[in-house]
Amino acid sequence: MTRVAAVDCGTNSIRLLIADIDTDTNADAATGQPAPRLTDVVREMRVVRLGQGVDSTGELAPEALERTFAATRDYASLIREHGVAKVRFVATSATRDASNRQVFVDGIRAILGVEPEVITGDEEAALSFAGASSVLPSRGDDPVLVVDLGGGSTEFVLGNAGGVIAARSVDVGCVRMTERHLRSDPPTPEQIAAAEADVDAAISEAARTVPLERATAIVGVAGSVTTITAHALRLPEYSPAAIHGTELDLDAVRKACTELLDMTREERAALPFMHPGRVDVIGAGGLVWRRVLERLADVTAGRITTAVASEHDILDGIALSIS
């Protein structure tokens, strides 16, 4: 048993998982390989909006960097407090795109004492699949599409019990689409149409690498998807236990997406399950998730009629990758 800490620093949020990883487990029934398991000690999430303005400026803003450094200082204290043996810090879309990312890298190293890794989209996709598949029932050889809908990018990864078959990261996400298109409250039909055109082009780009038509099921991960699921379930508060593993009809999920997109900011803020840091970007998250589900229903000729939400994602994948 080893105590590890994983940090996922995305475009909208920075998250920490401190967990005990048990490698002395039974072999996976499908692969015959050891199947490590995580036992959570601490899970934390802070919305720091590191990707503020990156889509238009190409740089990480000083105030966004300071918010991220402040959260990392808090995480460093928790890591020391809980006696962590190994730490892995991963940064994704916003940092990949930023011309001044060395400022970020130097700052994180000074605070945490480890080298932050700015990973590629393909690496992000593989970690997301590993995290989601580690806690969901295996479908054996049947390919499952895991979609990680983030703030700056969305990862499409097709895989089965044997691992990743194909993966692609594309530059659409809830923060990027909000800043680029959805500026009105609520957004106008013209803004929605422009955002949908971007999302459709990105899905087509992903489909050139990932054979979406082979998917037998779809699993959505990350905060936009889980928040949309909370809305579809009409939860009285945000409950990971109620959300994780929930399988809903595509029509119900699309309806929830549309409702969130059409609401005003004030209406979204009043929802009991809504994190304050997601209020202004969840409409764009709904737009992206709705278009992904519609496209998948089309390319699979209606074979896929439901979507699963997972609370376990790249953060779990990072923790599992620590050796």
26 phi and psi angles, rounded to 5 deg? -65, 155
* Angle at 166 (CA atoms; ends 50, 87), nearest 5 degrees: 45
Q: Which residues make beta-bridge pairs with 154?
A: 149, 170
Question: Using CA atoms, how far apart are residues 262 and 222, in angstroms rounded to an integer?
Answer: 21
pTM, 2 dp:
0.88
pLDDT of residue 33: 55
Q: What pLDDT band is residue 120 in, cutting at 50, 70 and 90?
A: confident
Task: Give tens-digit pLDDT for 287-303.
Answer: 999 999 999 999 999 89
Question: Using CA atoms, how far apart are residues 142 and 132, in angstroms rounded to an integer?
Answer: 15
Across the chain, the runs of DSSP E, i.e. the strands, are 2-9, 13-22, 37-47, 86-91, 117-118, 144-149, 154-160, 163-170, 217-221, 247-249, 306-310
9 phi and psi angles, rounded to 5 deg? -110, 105
DSSP 145-195: EEEEE-SS-EEEEEEETTEEEEEEEES--HHHHHHHT--SSSPPHHHHHHH
Assess whether pLDDT exceeds 50 at residue 30: no
Q: What pLDDT band is residue 50 in, cutting at 50, 70 and 90?
A: very high
Assess whether pLDDT exceeds 80 at residue 135: no
6 phi and psi angles, rounded to 5 deg? -115, 135
Assess whether pLDDT exceeds 70 at residue 26: no
Task: Give tens-digit pLDDT for 195-232.
Answer: 999 999 999 999 999 999 999 999 999 999 999 999 99
Task: Give tens-digit pLDDT for 150-160.
Answer: 998 999 999 99
Assess whether pLDDT exceeds 60 at residue 123: yes
